Structure 1
Amino acid sequence: MRRNRIAVLVATATATAIALGATAVPAIAVSAITVPSSHTSVRTSAPHAGKAAALQKAIDGLPDSAATAAQVRYKDMDKGLRWSGASGESDVRTHTPVKGDERFRAGSITKTFTAAVALQLVHEKKLDLDGTVQHYLPGLLPAHYPDVKVGQLLNYTSGLPGGDTRGTPKTPDWDKGRYTTWDHRALVQAGFGKPMEFTPGTQQHYSNIGYNVLGLLIEKVTGRTYEQELRDRVINRAGLKDTYSPGTSFGIKGRHTHGYEALKNADGTTRLVDTTEWDQSETWASGDLITTTADLDRFVSALFAGRVVPQQELKLMFTVPRVPQYENGKPAVYGSGLARFQLTKDGPVYWGKTGSRYGYLNGFAATQDGKESLIYSVNSTDAKGEDASPDSRVGRIIAAGVGTPSA
């Protein structure tokens, strides 16, 4: 497969992309994925058959028009329950059943891993939460931008504008740059022709930009690549076996689920486009990770137990700043690398992270003590458009695992 490489020159503002021809992507008619029954494997422990049945029902019936596969893990240590299940096909062309240990693109779950690396460096005093991007990386930000602190990058309150590195979902240029390799510094600077969104520290806006800047900071203060630091500080420390950063490779190593995007044809029919191969440099430290549900389970357990980030800095992951959200004025929900959510008014508080790439919709949630957790990966055919509404596949998985949101 041919790949376009961009070493982008930034003149304070925008990255210049070199548009070359890309190889056509194979398409599959949606009708081709319809099969009479799903492939499901389940592991559970008695006497919690009700929870297991609900989780299995949530992933049953795949593939269908909305998703081709799902992998889920759930545990409740207080109740002695562990469950894992898989449904659907890892490849709809070969009808290969999903076993539950396939790799997938984690998307923005990568941010939790990046935050863990950065917070270790804070503990080691190689980074200072009150230190500025301008101090560590002079010349990276436009001269007229105000000081942006490391802590503000971590909790999404930096106000930095992000660049538009890809097309909008469902538009003709939706796969623009699929085989484009972005220079990391150029990726960060791609949106700097825009003004700051708000004064740093005054609002919260979830986006990729802050975590890609953190990737550059990690490299600057350690003298090593982001990928090396992530491997040694998080992946190896947590004992993860199938997790890695792909770098400039656009494929996925080993056994993995294929991702698909459903697109409308001119005659009104729908086709699936295989999105598995994709250069992830457009997300880098904010979204390029490849992993498995088993590895995410290990990671969440190790992280929440304080075995990845020292306890003093771990508290920052569970600390949400008292500022409004940029989009809607509601209270902020993100700490450093984790989001706080409560499904019912008096129910338990969960901490977690979601992530999506075309063809992959994933997430994890756990109580702060780590005793209860839910991990899922769904190969949604509209991963950039599907939400977690109760009638969606992800919504049903969340409801079966940790409860249905109240009105």
Structure 2
Amino acid sequence: MTRPLLASLLTTAIGMTALPAYAAPAGDASATGSSGRERILRHLDDLTRSGAVGAQIQVTDANGTWTARAGTARADGSAPVPRAGLFRAGSATKMFTAVVLLQLVGEGRVSLDAPLERYVPKDLVPAAERITVRMLLQHTSGLHDVARDLPQGAELVRTRFRHYDTATSVREAAARPAAFPPGTDYGYSNTNYLIAGLIIERVTGCSYAEEVKRRIITPLRLRDTSVPGDTSSIPGPHAHGYLTLRGTGDRPGRVRQVDVTELNPSMAGPAGEIVTTTRDLDIFLTSLTSGKLLHPAEWEEMNRTVSTGGPGSRYGLGLKQERLSCGRLAVGHTGGIPGYATLAFTTPDRSRRVVLSANLADWPADPSIGGPIDKVLDDAVCG
């Protein structure tokens, strides 16, 4: 059976149907442009039918800022996703880590084009003399992706509260064969951002988490954003994410959904552990693009991109660029971590912005969620 069919069967088995989206305008927006809004609401409903239990969104367009929800907070419940609910941001964390490292570049404490051996021991990264800091942030290092080695399925359920030591994870990943010689290609690897976190710690004498709090969370007053470390719970109202286990052996037909909302996010660390809200991620994006977090020189470096191989898609230093159907450019990041998928983008002039979180029915996420999420981004920016 295909994954979409299994997801469909699971939805039927537990008696859950997608609920209509709950639009909640944040201001006194006019009805002008409502067709674009209606399309986005339909995409949210499609998302809850294609692999998400629920979803929430905050959009800023020509008519103001509005929020919406679809689906449910729990797979076995009827309550909607909480308004302003917290969620795991996954790889959207990379923007925060990159900003801290670029601030250190602006302070003259880190050089983007210096080899890693200046900041980390060679026994940690054997190719440290050939990989630069820029290559880490731009995913051109060629380093093996540590995420490929994380447990999945039943093993993930059993081990999801274990602590992951960042240096140990880096050492093990860096010892594996490289995907390509440093600087010769693009290859997304979470290992790069674990190393970026270690560089921040070596240079400042403080953990990357402390620096993110001091340099970003506190000055921007991101009251619902945290770097949880080993804390497995989400500290506030939130929707729940799941992993679907499928039977083997003498019970091949058994399908069971396990709540994996609580887990030890050290598995993701500087590459994906942050907990936040749509509001806080929107504040972060507007602050980043308006010059509140980086000086012009470092912002320019963040936007020096390489092709990811996808149409209209490029990657800078912790920042994705997407050229959408109307020709407009959006910058931001996506994210995924067991239980959650995230989308956070803005146009460079901040006139159109979108932040979405989906609480998932399975992990790895059903690939069919990509269609509705892509359509949300396109309609939010182009609609």
Measured after TM superposition, the shift of residue 253 of structure 1 is: 0.8
Alpha-carbon separation, structure 2, partners of 1:36 and 1:68: 8
Q: What residue is the counterpart of 1:66 in the other structure?
A: 51
Q: What residue is the counterpart of 1:166 in the other structure?
A: 150
Q: Look up the equivalent residue of 2:350 and give its one-letter code.
A: G
Matched ranges for 1:289-308 at <5 A: 289-308=274-293
Alpha-carbon separation, structure 2, partners of 1:248 and 1:395: 32
Q: Look up the equivalent residue of 2:322 and give its one-letter code.
A: F
Change (3 A) 1:162 1:396: closer
Q: What residue is the counterpart of 1:231 in the other structure?
A: 213
Q: Could you tell me the TM-score, scaled by structure 2's length?
A: 0.87
Q: Which region of structure 1 is more displaced relative to structure 2, 180-189 or 214-223?
A: 180-189
Q: Look up the equivalent residue of 2:89 and give its one-letter code.
A: A
Measured after TM superposition, the shift of residue 205 of structure 1 is: 0.9
Work out whether 1:338 is the aligned partner of 2:319: yes
Q: Could you tell me the TM-score, scaled by structure 1's length?
A: 0.82
Measured after TM superposition, the shift of residue 210 of structure 1 is: 0.8
Matched ranges for 1:362-381 at <5 A: 362-381=342-361
Q: Look up the equivalent residue of 1:394 and give its one-letter code.
A: I
Decide which of 93, 96, 115 is 1:110's aligned counterpart. Answer: 93
Work out whether 1:156 is the aligned partner of 2:156: no
The size of the alignment, in residue pairs, is 367
Q: What residue is the counterpart of 1:14 in the other structure?
A: none
Alignment check: 8 A CA contact 1:261 1:358 kept: yes
Alignment check: 8 A CA contact 1:264 1:271 kept: yes
Change (3 A) 1:220 1:202: same
Alpha-carbon separation, structure 2, partners of 1:227 and 1:294: 20
Matched ranges for 1:159-308 at <5 A: 159-163=142-146, 164-168=148-152, 171-175=153-157, 177-265=159-247, 266=251, 268=253, 270-308=255-293
Measured after TM superposition, the shift of residue 222 of structure 1 is: 0.5
What do the CA deviations read for 1:111-165 (whole angstroms, capped 9, x no partner)?
Answer: 0110011000000011111222111122343546542211111111112223344
Q: What residue is the counterpart of 2:130 in the other structure?
A: 147
Alpha-carbon separation, structure 2, partners of 1:246 and 1:187: 18
Alpha-carbon separation, structure 2, partners of 1:294 and 1:234: 15
Q: Which region of structure 1 is more displaced relative to structure 2, 375-384 or 121-130?
A: 375-384
Q: Look up the equivalent residue of 2:69 and give its one-letter code.
A: A
Work out whether 1:120 is the aligned partner of 2:107: no
Question: Percent identity, aligned pairs only?
Answer: 30
Change (3 A) 1:37 1:213: closer
Alignment check: 8 A CA contact 1:39 1:87 kept: yes
SS in 1 for 2:314: coil
Q: Could you list the runs of 5+ residues in structure 1 that have no partner in the other structure?
A: 1-28
What do the CA deviations read for 1:244-284 (whole angstroms, capped 9, x no partner)?
Answer: 01111111111111111233344535432111011111110
Measured after TM superposition, the shift of residue 176 of structure 1 is: 5.8
What do the CA deviations read for 1:83-111 (whole angstroms, capped 9, x no partner)?
Answer: 21112222344533223311001000000
Q: Look up the equivalent residue of 2:209 and give its one-letter code.
A: E
Change (3 A) 1:268 1:158: same
Higher helix share: 2
Q: Which region of structure 1 is more displaced relative to structure 2, 65-74 or 141-150?
A: 141-150
SS in 2 for 1:100: coil
SS in 2 for 1:68: strand
Alignment check: 8 A CA contact 2:82 2:237 kept: no
Alpha-carbon separation, structure 2, partners of 1:396 and 1:330: 15
Alignment check: 8 A CA contact 1:303 1:309 kept: yes
Measured after TM superposition, the shift of residue 368 of structure 1 is: 1.5
Measured after TM superposition, the shift of residue 67 of structure 1 is: 1.7
Change (3 A) 1:312 1:262: same
What do the CA deviations read for 1:168-226 (whole angstroms, capped 9, x no partner)?
Answer: 4xx55354631210112102112233233322222111110111001000011111111
Matched ranges for 1:19-34 at <5 A: 30=11, 31-34=13-16
Alpha-carbon separation, structure 1, partners of 2:104 and 2:128: 25
